[in-house]
Amino acid sequence: NEMNVQWYPGHMTKARREMEADVRIVDMVIELLDARAPMASGNPEIRRLGQGKERVIVLNKSDLADAATTAAWIRCFQAEGAHCIAMDARGSGNRKLLMRTIEAAAAAKRERDKKRGILNRPVRAMVAGIPNVGKSTLINMLSGRSSAKTGNKPGVTRGNQWIRFQQSIELLDTPGILWPKFEDPAIGEKIAFLGSVNEMIVDKTELAVTLLAFLETNGKLEGAKERYQLKGTETAAEMLTEIARLRGCLMAGGEPDTEKAAGIVINEFRSGALGRISLEEPEGEAHGTQNTEG
């Protein structure tokens, strides 16, 4: 059941060039990862580009992930020396915690500046992550502006404005967009489950079948079994047919509309209706293994 997720290198090249330019002018990179799959949603490129910069890792969408697993990931990243917190960027409830974490990460830089006689220089930060991980939401939360993506509005200048907050922290208002790594099909799959891949390049039915098979294999099918009244003995393809019947997704001839059912399964997984499901566990293993830069 291996899906082959494709991507557009041209897209990636442009995003990477912009990211490289931005990262040069900041002291700190706030790396957004999806709490449900911190490895798959990370891009080793960002570590290479951000070398020598302070590193803050935000495990976002933690409201959709298993809480204990997220706590284990936090310990894991902290052991690596990164500042790491989990959050739901849609609410302002975590704003203070995030500010405090950014300030703590900035402290080392301020100290270095002080030793070199540089006073009151703001610490500059940028947000980076793969598509759909919540970058805009997080920037909006920090800047206190509405959820509108101002950059897409006519008449509003987009990009490279500094949002100033806290004890002289300056945040770049445009996030760095990183393309996910697809070389490993298992990574591409998870990224597709999370919705960070353009829907146009992934077959919906295939994605839903792969997702159901993944949940089954990893003992995470409980929520789906309950919600869709599955026996759990079916193949993933059979599950989808049953879900189509249950939800009344029928085609003209009365045949189950599995594509429509696939859309339901994917949306319900992404919204958390199938439970708070983490796709990756740290399991005490060194989780930098996906790094290619050594």
Binding site for ligand G4P (CB under 6 A): 60-61, 63-64, 88-90, 129, 131-137
* CB-count exposure of residue 283 (10 Å: 0-12, 13-18, 19+): exposed
Least Å from the CB of residue 191 to ligand G4P: 13
Residue, CB closest to ligand G4P: 134
Token duo for residue 235: 């193949």
Closest CA to 62 of 81, 51, 77: 77
Is 59 or 105 the residue whose CB approaches ligand G4P more closely? 59
Is 42 or 129 the residue whose CB approaches ligand G4P more closely? 129
Least Å from the CB of residue 192 to ligand G4P: 15
Match 């490993």 to its residue by tokens.
184
Is 110 or 135 the residue whose CB approaches ligand G4P more closely? 135
Least Å from the CB of residue 137 to ligand G4P: 3
Is 63 or 206 the residue whose CB approaches ligand G4P more closely? 63
Least Å from the CB of residue 61 to ligand G4P: 4
Least Å from the CB of residue 220 to ligand G4P: 18
Is 180 or 188 the residue whose CB approaches ligand G4P more closely? 180
Is 1 or 267 the residue whose CB approaches ligand G4P more closely? 267
Least Å from the CB of residue 234 to ligand G4P: 29
